[in-house]
Structure 1
């Protein structure tokens, strides 16, 4: 990111403008087909997760997918509460790179219900005991199996719980600038609704998505660009020769004033598309409507050169 230097005499708002350099190697958003595939997979997982939670926590659960987005690990970690349940996951013999996150108070409440206790709202958050960690590991392990099935091979095989942490600031599972895919959920168990999220590394997931839905061959790019240009709607307008006036002349206009235009009465009008002349035309009619009759096509050297580039 570059920050413009403040120049003497410039207004503070102008001097503090920031220019964000776009990195094509790390796109800011998911491709539409990739986002849709992930949304379908996470929605399927949400239904399966709700069934698992209902069975294990012994309270009717509903899990809804709120959002799927592409962001950086630093932004994701900064969006989490200062204390929460971060279940780090990964494949054996490798660094964990996946997170299942849920509120620590919700995890403590679920544990009480899993061992036969009554539903209570836990206020004092604390670290989980070894037995409580084992219960949460078991709960998340089943969720990971459902996630792998729902996403259809986008996750590596053998994904398992690697550890549990409580501070997003200390759970350094990736560099701050690394792109990650975030799925945010709302979990309603009984009368209580809490947020939860799942983080996946963007690189491997997008690579697998691209392999499953390959893009069009590069050699087809010129034809695709030409088709896109040809199918994009543009506005056509019929224009007289413009006449330059001073602002005082415009402010002094009143009803009945006559403006002399530098357009000869026998000269055709200009047919323009986005202020670019494309043809000349004469005024005509079509039924009860005004129309224009094209009299000549304007073909500039620049247009011809641009057409050759598209070919």
Structure 2
């Protein structure tokens, strides 16, 4: 089988991973996340009372198992859902950055060496509250496009215990470099397809409507009704029916009379787009043949 050449309007389709976002959806999500990370940095800076730098955002689709290989144990992972979207997503924070934020939350300077270690239960509860603040920003950013209610489900230190997708599935990973009091690491959001796809579709439609390239995405009943009412419909009146042999038909000539099955005083059938709709009586109006509607045919 030959290779398929690239062609305008045609994009490769991966049959092994059919569930993936389109380029347009991924770009729309990236635009929303730019606003999200900027707002999240402001919220964290206010809560921690220290500047928080976020930069070098990347958004990509990668196999779930490949994403897991980038997470070192012990990790700082928060699993959350976002009703009404199905499935769960995950937020990840570099342990050194998480410990610096814990230190600042408890009134410390947030400086000094922060070892990469598993968080204690108290530290986990502090980070959980920070994640909940971030998720509040996450909710607000998506509100104009797709109202959601994100809620923390669990805190984990091992990605094996935070299974948000199946092996072989593609996930969307948004990773952002973060700096807190000289400690640098990353914050990341990870979504399985089922969780992010409704948001991506809503973001793309919102962007197209805002740009004026998809004004008709929002249903407009009045406009639709006007178009339907102006649509042309072909009407015809059935004079009657009869049975005739092929032999008689072949011998028909001008002047012959063909007897129909229906009586002369019975109503005729008015058909609209080849569907029987009304019973009518024949007559004339302004010198032309016309029919008067007397009843509507019952729908079968």
> In the alignment, what sits opposite 1:287?
none
| Alignment equivalent of 2:197, drawn from 206, 210, 227 | 206
Moved more, 115-124 or 38-47: 115-124
Q: Give the Cα–Cα distance (whole angstroms) in 1 for the partners of residues 80 and 162 of structure 2.
A: 12
Q: Is it true that 1:146 corresponds to 2:137 in the alignment? A: yes
Matches within 5 A, 1:9-88: 22-23=14-15, 26=18, 30-88=21-79
Deviations 1:136-172 (CA, angstroms, capped at 9, x unpaired): 1111001011112223467773211111111223432
Distance 1:108 1:204, change over 3 A: closer
C-alpha displacement of 1:101? 0.3
Does the CA-based 8 Å contact 1:85-1:166 persist in structure 2? yes
Deviations 1:100-158 (CA, angstroms, capped at 9, x unpaired): 10112221221111111122344433332332222111110010111122234677732
Distance 1:122 1:88, change over 3 A: farther
Q: Is it true that 1:181 corresponds to 2:189 in the alignment? A: no
Does the CA-based 8 Å contact 2:89-2:192 persist in structure 1? yes
Distance 1:88 1:155, change over 3 A: farther
C-alpha displacement of 1:181? 1.0
Moved more, 195-204 or 109-118: 195-204
- Give 3-state SS (helix, strand or coil) of 1:75's partner: helix
Count of matched residue positions in the alignment of Structure 1 and Structure 2: 197
Q: Is it true that 1:127 corresponds to 2:87 in the alignment? A: no
Higher RCO (CA 8 Å, separation ≥ 6 residues): 2
- Provide the TM-score with structure 2 as the length reference: 0.57
Does the CA-based 8 Å contact 2:79-2:154 persist in structure 1? yes
Distance 1:181 1:207, change over 3 A: same
Root mean square deviation of aligned Cα: 3.2
Unpaired runs of at least 5, structure 2: 1-12, 214-300
C-alpha displacement of 1:94? 10
Distance 1:211 1:54, change over 3 A: closer
Does the CA-based 8 Å contact 2:25-2:203 persist in structure 1? no
- Give 3-state SS (helix, strand or coil) of 2:54's partner: strand
Moved more, 148-157 or 73-82: 148-157
Q: Is it true that 1:114 corresponds to 2:94 in the alignment? A: no
Distance 1:171 1:211, change over 3 A: closer
Does the CA-based 8 Å contact 1:64-1:185 persist in structure 2? yes
Q: Give the Cα–Cα distance (whole angstroms) in 1 for the partners of residues 84 and 27 of structure 2.
A: 32
Q: Give the Cα–Cα distance (whole angstroms) in 1 for the partners of residues 119 and 102 of structure 2.
A: 10
Q: Give the Cα–Cα distance (whole angstroms) in 2 for the partners of residues 107 and 212 of structure 1.
A: 30
| Structure exhibiting the larger radius of gyration computed from Cα positions | 2
- Provide the TM-score with structure 1 as the length reference: 0.55
- Give 3-state SS (helix, strand or coil) of 1:26's partner: coil
Q: Give the Cα–Cα distance (whole angstroms) in 2 for the partners of residues 122 and 31 of structure 1.
A: 42
Moved more, 87-96 or 101-110: 87-96
